Amino acid sequence: MIRLLSLLLLACIPASVEAQDVTAFVGDWRLVSVLQPDSAGNTRPFWGPKPLGMIRYSANGVMAAQLYDERRPALGVGNWGDVSPEAARTTLVGLASYYGTFTVDTVQHTIAHRVEGAMAPEWIGRTLVRGYRFLPGDRVELRVVTGADGKPTTNGQVLVWERVPAARRGAP
């Protein structure tokens, strides 16, 4: 009887560990940095020193991410239909946005984003895998394991996110 109980308890441990780690992601995160590693092990800012971005993970497994190069110039028009092709290209190159669902693999230390909608139609239906590790100061590092093309990469970008404190109820 004790052996059976022990086996049942051991079978439950992975599920409870995974749930705990999923809970650790839930909330809003502000982008701190995006670094691009090279083959020599050096890194450089992918966009600029102060990229803009938010990522949200919900308790029900839904996520959404928006990332922007803060150096993007203003479009200079009141109507998006009047944007020049060059201005549209510059704007598109300096952003990434998508939403979908997510799952956490606590053994591999990865989080998988299954894309349901995105700025780039070819991303839809892909799974974007990120290696993760939690950092001091309520931060998390997400390392790109599969790129936007859905293929594995060895020199994927490293993004650091900082948790946005929960808003006080009744705050403006």
Of 162, 153, 132, the closest CA to residue 37 belongs to 153
146, part of any domain: yes
CATH number for the domain spanning 159: value is 2.40.128.280
What is the rounded distance in angstroms from the CA atom of residue 118 to the CA atom of residue 127? 12
Phi/psi-derived region of residue 150, left when phi > 0, alpha when psi is between -120 and 50, beta in every other case? left
83, part of any domain: yes
21, part of any domain: no
How many structural domains comprise the chain? 1
Of 70, 25, 29, the closest CA to residue 46 belongs to 70
6, part of any domain: no
Q: Which residue range forms the structural domain that includes residue 54?
A: 26-163
pLDDT band at 47 (very low <50, low <70, confident <90, very high): confident
14, part of any domain: no
Digit-coded pLDDT (tens) for 84-123: 888 888 888 889 999 999 999 999 999 999 999 999 999 9
Digit-coded pLDDT (tens) for 128-144: 999 999 999 999 999 99
pTM of the model: 0.81
40, part of any domain: yes
